[in-house]
Chain A
Amino acid sequence: MSEMTRPATETETTEFTTPPSRSLGWLFWVCVGWLGLNVLGAIFASVLPLPDPLYQNYMAINASPSLHHLLGTDDLGRDIFSRIVFGSRVSIAVGVGSMIIGFGIGAPLGMLAAYRRGRLDAILTTAMYVFLAFPAIVAVIAVLSFWTPRALAKIILVIGLASVPLVYRVIRTATMAVATKDYVVAAKVQGATDRRILVRELLPNIAPVGISFLLVGIATVVTLEGALAFLGLSVNPPTPSWGNMINESRTVMSQNPWLVLFPSLAMCLFLLCLNFIGDRLRSHFDVTEVKL
């Protein structure tokens, strides 16, 4: 054993070039706070002291913002603030729900295909590219037009399935970059099972890419819901959603600009925050970027 203590002295001068811990910045936390507020609002909308979003107050039609109606009322006298908070339920549910489906199916398939390669990869990738070649938005519109009555769950399911090939492609590419690293080979050589390699070695290294794509994905789906509402294919009125509200206010835009401004603003801020957080997280967790 005395022989073995010698090399230890060779690294006595061990010094670390630990990267300076980079903070995420105050703007990041402002964005997180705003998103948190949105989500809490959506969850607790019904217990918050808000006016009924469906109550039509004919005494206050197209009212301007006031203490009584924080953001004014619409052409049917419904409280806009309340409708935005309740509307966020639909937007957030569609965004998060469909991405859970998209990632739940697309991510494991993408990882498996990139790790195993061979025939499994060839079949899956070809299939996914066939789906990708088909314009997803047209497919979503077609399915939602015929699959009546429309319900939130159906919208989530259709958009979620449509996003699977995209998620698959992103996760597969990210995994392929990692799967050829020597540490993956080393794990295999140590006798690790495939499942262990996927979970321990690959997952932590593709998670940053995955999370940032997840956030961007949610943002995209929220916009998509808006677009569907514009075509009258989102949840049925009078249930509020941001998309529905923008769509309905179209006709009275000149008389009551608040009506289109506030839901648009809500959606815009929500998307901005999601994209900003996604981008920040990606660069924060990028090991290679930390190196220099």
Chain B
Amino acid sequence: MSLLDVQNLSVTLHTPHGDLPAVADVSLSVGAEETLGIVGESGSGKTMLARSIMGLLPRARASASGSVKLKGVEMVGARASDLRRLWATEVAMIFQDPMTALNPVMRVGRQIDETLRVRLGLSRSAARARAIELLEMVGIPSPEKRYAAYPGQLSGGMRQRVVIAMALAASPSLILADEPTTGLDVTIQAQILNLLDELQARLHTSMILITHDLGVVATRTSHLAVMYAGRIVETGTTRDVFARHRMPYTRALLESSPRVSNPAHTRLTAIPGRPPNLLRLGEGCAFAPRCGFASERCHRERPELSVPDESSHAFACFNPLEVGR
């Protein structure tokens, strides 16, 4: 049995403009010690997916259907107290902006302490010792000194390390990292990604890594899901999705990213148009209006995510690309 099992999850946001299907019919699973990458552009629903997996949707403005099972425990519609227990021990989230995850007027050490004391019931002195241990583990130099610092006194990279330390406090079995390195510089990004890799291997944690950056998922994930307009349009092992992608959107995404290895002035293959307005989705495939391979059927009917052969590589397309382009 996989650690996390999501079945037909849909999330509708209630906006002043109407109901918006932010996540539509998503199914995925994450096994023990696996890393699943979820890539998509803004508005593809990747962040909403993460929030609904965590049970962090604003209840007044969103409704979810389907099932999210973590170690067999259903999280959709779970009571707040049950969710809190899961957050405490099984699943932790790392956000894009570490500043919003930290209380700016509280010393970072005390924030970690608090987490430890509430979640694990440690004593004050034990919590302090463990907090310093955690800070050291995430590679913060002179952790005793940083223990007393306020978040504002740390750099972006250091703050993200503190957030990771907090996420690891209760040794969760699953970490959800939502754009964990987006605001950071490349050299710091490399440090943080290496740290996550290292910790994951050491603590045997599973991870979902959500990002818009194909470079981040390429070498850091075992499986990959590409999202477009709230749906997963292609998924499989990372290597398969990169090398043998079948969905035209995946290819377009790969070809529109500039690469360091390309010679200067390489003309990029831009995807025409822009992501669809989720309030006005048509009948057919959401990518059809921007797709060079779209047939009449694509505009009429929506392709289901399906696995055509023995592999685990699934895609949602009527006119899939030939393997090897």
Q: Say yes or no: B277 contacts A20, CB within 8 Å.
A: no
Q: A12 — which chain B residues lie within 8 A by C-beta?
A: 272-273
Q: Say yes or no: B272 contacts A17, CB within 8 Å.
A: no
Q: Say yes or no: B17 contacts A10, CB within 8 Å.
A: no
Which of A11, A13, A19: most chain B CB closer than 10 A? A13
Q: A10 — which chain B residues lie within 8 A by C-beta?
A: 270, 272-273
Q: B277 — which chain A residues lie within 8 A by C-beta?
A: 15, 17
CA distance in complex: A13, B280 (Å)? 12
Q: Which residues between 1 and 44 of chain A lie within 8 Å of chain B, taking CB atoms?
A: 9-13, 15, 17, 19-20
Give the Cβ gap from A286 to chain B, nearest Cβ, in Å: 14
CA distance in complex: A10, B16 (Å)? 29
Q: Say yes or no: B17 contacts A20, CB within 8 Å.
A: yes
Given A13-B289, A13-B290, A15-B277, A20 and B16 touching (CB < 8 A)? yes
Give the Cβ gap from B86 to chain A, nearest Cβ, in Å: 30
CA distance in complex: A17, B279 (Å)? 9
- Closest residue of chain A to B271 (Cβ to Cβ) is A10
CA distance in complex: A11, B15 (Å)? 26
Q: B276 — which chain A residues lie within 8 A by C-beta?
A: 15
Given A17-B17, A20-B16, A20-B17, A9 and B272 touching (CB < 8 A)? yes
CA distance in complex: A67, B290 (Å)? 74
- Closest residue of chain A to B272 (Cβ to Cβ) is A10
Q: Which residues between 250 and 296 of chain B lie within 8 Å of chain A, taking CB atoms?
A: 270, 272-274, 276-277, 279-280, 289-290
Given A20-B16, A20-B17, A15 and B272 touching (CB < 8 A)? no
Q: Say yes or no: A11 contacts B273, CB within 8 Å.
A: yes
Q: Which residues between 1 and 43 of chain B lie within 8 Å of chain A, taking CB atoms?
A: 15-17
Give the Cβ gap from B248 to chain A, nearest Cβ, in Å: 16
Give the Cβ gap from A275 to chain B, nearest Cβ, in Å: 25
Q: Which residues between 245 and 292 of chain A lie within 8 Å of chain B, taking CB atoms?
A: 292
Q: Say yes or no: A13 contacts B274, CB within 8 Å.
A: yes
Q: B272 — which chain A residues lie within 8 A by C-beta?
A: 9-10, 12-13
- Closest residue of chain A to B280 (Cβ to Cβ) is A15
CA distance in complex: A9, B16 (Å)? 31
Give the Cβ gap from B281 to chain A, nearest Cβ, in Å: 11
Interface mask (B147-187 → A, CB under 8 Å = 1, otherwise 0): 00000000000000000000000000000000000000000
CA distance in complex: A132, B316 (Å)? 67
CA distance in complex: A9, B290 (Å)? 11
CA distance in complex: A10, B289 (Å)? 11
Q: A11 — which chain B residues lie within 8 A by C-beta?
A: 273-274
User: Within the complex, which residue of B17, B270, B273, B279 is in contact with A13, where a contact is CB–CB below 8 Å?
Assistant: B273
Interface mask (A195-239 → B, CB under 8 Å = 1, otherwise 0): 000000000000000000000000000000000000000000000
Closest 3 CB pairs of A and B: A13-B273, A10-B272, A15-B277
Question: Hey, which bits of chain A sit against chain B, CB under 8 A?
Answer: 9-13, 15, 17, 19-20, 292
Question: Hey, which bits of chain B sit against chain A, CB under 8 A?
Answer: 15-17, 270, 272-274, 276-277, 279-280, 289-290
Given A13-B274, A17-B17: 12 more A-B contacts, CB < 8 Å: A10-B272, A10-B273, A11-B273, A11-B274, A12-B273, A13-B272, A13-B273, A13-B289, A15-B277, A17-B279, A19-B17, A20-B16
23 contacts between A and B (CB under 8 A): A9-B272, A10-B270, A10-B272, A10-B273, A11-B273, A11-B274, A12-B272, A12-B273, A13-B272, A13-B273, A13-B274, A13-B289, A13-B290, A15-B276, A15-B277, A15-B280, A17-B17, A17-B277, A17-B279, A19-B17, A20-B16, A20-B17, A292-B15
